[in-house]
Amino acid sequence: MEKILVKQLYRESEKYAEQMISISGWIRTLRASKNFGFIEINDGTFFKNVQVVFEEGLENFKEVSKLSISSSITVEGKLVLTPGAKQPFELKAEKIEIEGLSDADYPLQKKRHSFEFLRTIAHLRPRSNTFSAVFRVRSLVAFAIHKFFQERGFVYTHTPIITGSDCEGAGEMFRITTMDLNDIPKTEGGEIDYKEDFFGKETNLTVSGQLAAEAYALAFRNVYTFGPTFRAENSNTARHAAEFWMVEPEIAFAELQDDMELAEDMIKYIISYVLENAPEEIEFFNSFIDKGLKERLIHVATSDFGKVSYTEAIDILKKCGKEFQYPVEWGIDLQTEHERYLTEEVFKKPLFVTDYPKEIKAFYMRLNEDQKTVAAMDLLVPGIGEIVGGSQREERLDVLESRIEELGLKKEDYWWYLELRKYGGTKHAGFGLGFERMIMYVTGISNIRDVIPFPRTTGTAEF
């Protein structure tokens, strides 16, 4: 007998009508009387449940009648279409095999639970409606990203997680070691002897794969990374995690304008993919998590993104008459309140802000002719503000070396990065998309802890 996933059943119910099929899943609800009963089962492949009808002719009718929520069963039976009824079909059980019982203290009973509580049972929360939907969407968005770049011939590049260098020249990093912390090897001079460590040197968890991605863009023209990155920032906010995934495309023979076009295409592609492949989930989020979600997503997917320079943006903000918590002055880093005002109130659509003061951006961004700004861009979207940050990279060896010196970094730490400019360097650009931020954007979920299966934040690495 064919084993069918619930998703297949909803997508192709005509095909299975009047057929004998086998469905497995976990019990969401069960009502039974003396002669018959109804079970809603869910197998996690789809947002909706399947209604199973069972009758007293069933061999283990009594046992089934008493099954607890979350017990797992396999049902064999005939699929009957029920046009006009609440659900489009039901499964008339001829056999119900009990796979595993669920103890009565199962913590996910029907009543609503707070997200805070659900985080303490991260191994069970994907069985709830909300988290089931969130993590299916997370999977779809990940695939949409791969599909987008692969269709365009980009080479997926696995940049290293363990690194001896600090890309941003700042960033708080996690140290990796196999040294015995109770007996750290020391040199004769009393310093830590990293030669004794696994890699023979200090190593950390990566904060970005960009520098390595640049090396690969200068071989494959268009590449992207998609992997975990880490920040040891001691910040306890709803938007920061110590471990998160990042997407970093890097394109050669390309300038800032190409970079912006790529970011716009990618964001639209992701949103369209989710709207098309997870319509039930988006309806649910729109009803129960964030009322304006669907409209906002459609708006973003169909708008032409705007563009404004940082200098113009500062002008607009200074002249708009609105009181901001953080005062606006040329040279400041834009705060979320400024970003949201620009994209939501002024431009009313997604907006690229370009050409930021060099002082607030990283050393590798390309210096503009004014010598004051760099060819950077941030993409701001209604609802959250910045979602993508990128730049054209400095391809001129002498300018890059001066910037490294200016910032007090060590040139020898970047020997291979500098060599990329010596051996056929080209104009190139790239950006980073925080993957979890994207998931939050398409689901309306406001805490990053609720879009990561087992989140790692300050003080927390459970499960």
Nearer to a second copy, 72 or 311 (CB): 72
Select from 350, 389, 425, 430 the one that contacts a second copy (CB under 8 A).
425
Token digits for 87? Answer: 């659900």
Question: Is residue 452 involved in binding a second copy (CB under 8 A)?
Answer: yes
Of 300, 301, 281, nearest to 350 by C-alpha is 300
Question: Is residue 171 involved in binding a second copy (CB under 8 A)?
Answer: no
Determine contact, residues 374/356, Cβ cutoff 8 Å: yes
Nearer to a second copy, 145 or 380 (CB): 145
Token digits for 261? Answer: 């076009």
CA 113/CA 101 separation, integer angstroms = 22
Token digits for 431? Answer: 């950006």
Question: Is residue 150 involved in binding a second copy (CB under 8 A)?
Answer: yes
Question: Is residue 409 involved in binding a second copy (CB under 8 A)?
Answer: no
Q: What is the DSSP letter of 335?
A: P
Which of positions 50-109 make contact with a second copy (CB under 8 A)? 70-72, 74, 99-103, 106
Question: Is residue 220 involved in binding a second copy (CB under 8 A)?
Answer: yes
CA 81/CA 288 separation, integer angstroms = 29
CB of 206 to a second copy, least distance (A): 10
Of 274, 284, 295, 220, nearest to 251 by C-alpha is 220
**Region for residue 18 given its phi and psi (left: phi exceeds 0; alpha: psi -120 to 50; beta: otherwise):** left
Residue 410: strand, helix, or coil = coil
H or E segment and range at residue 28: strand 20-32
Of 8, 43, 11, nearest to 24 by C-alpha is 43
Question: Is residue 158 involved in binding a second copy (CB under 8 A)?
Answer: yes
Which of positions 226-265 make contact with a second copy (CB under 8 A)? 227-228, 230, 232, 234, 242-243, 245, 252-253
Question: Is residue 179 involved in binding a second copy (CB under 8 A)?
Answer: yes
CB of 66 to a second copy, least distance (A): 14
Question: Is residue 454 involved in binding a second copy (CB under 8 A)?
Answer: yes
Of 120, 94, 97, nearest to 108 by C-alpha is 120
Determine contact, residues 249/149, Cβ cutoff 8 Å: yes
Give the N- to C-terminal CA distance of the chain in Å, as an integer.
37
Question: Is residue 366 involved in binding a second copy (CB under 8 A)?
Answer: no
Q: 10 Å Cβ neighbour count for 40? A: 17
Select from 1, 2, 3, 170 the one that contacts a second copy (CB under 8 A).
3
Q: Which stretch binds a second copy (CB under 8 A): 1-9, 285-293, 318-326, 342-350?
A: 1-9
Which of positions 270-309 make contact with a second copy (CB under 8 A)? none
CA 445/CA 133 separation, integer angstroms = 11
Select from 39, 79, 93, 205 the one that contacts a second copy (CB under 8 A).
205
Nearer to a second copy, 279 or 292 (CB): 279
Which of positions 127-146 make contact with a second copy (CB under 8 A)? 127, 132, 135-136, 138-139, 142-143, 146
Which of positions 16-35 make contact with a second copy (CB under 8 A)? 24-27
Question: Is residue 43 involved in binding a second copy (CB under 8 A)?
Answer: yes
CB of 445 to a second copy, least distance (A): 15
Please, what sign has the CA dihedral across residues 167, 169, 172, 177?
positive
Q: Which stretch binds a second copy (CB under 8 A): 30-38, 82-90, 157-165, 369-377?
A: 157-165
Token digits for 122? Answer: 């991260």
Q: Which stretch binds a second copy (CB under 8 A): 282-290, 345-353, 400-408, 448-456?
A: 448-456
Over its C-alpha atoms, the chain yields an Rg (Å, rounded) of 27
Q: β-strand 50-55 against 72-81: which pairing, if any? A: unpaired
Select from 1, 85, 238, 461 the one that contacts a second copy (CB under 8 A).
461
Nearer to a second copy, 62 or 123 (CB): 123
Count of residues that interact with a second copy, criterion CB under 8 A: 106
Select from 21, 32, 53, 176 the one that contacts a second copy (CB under 8 A).
176
Q: How far is CA 362 from CA 30, 169, 406, in A?
A: 58, 8, 12
CB of 202 to a second copy, least distance (A): 9
CB of 344 to a second copy, least distance (A): 30
CB of 162 to a second copy, least distance (A): 5
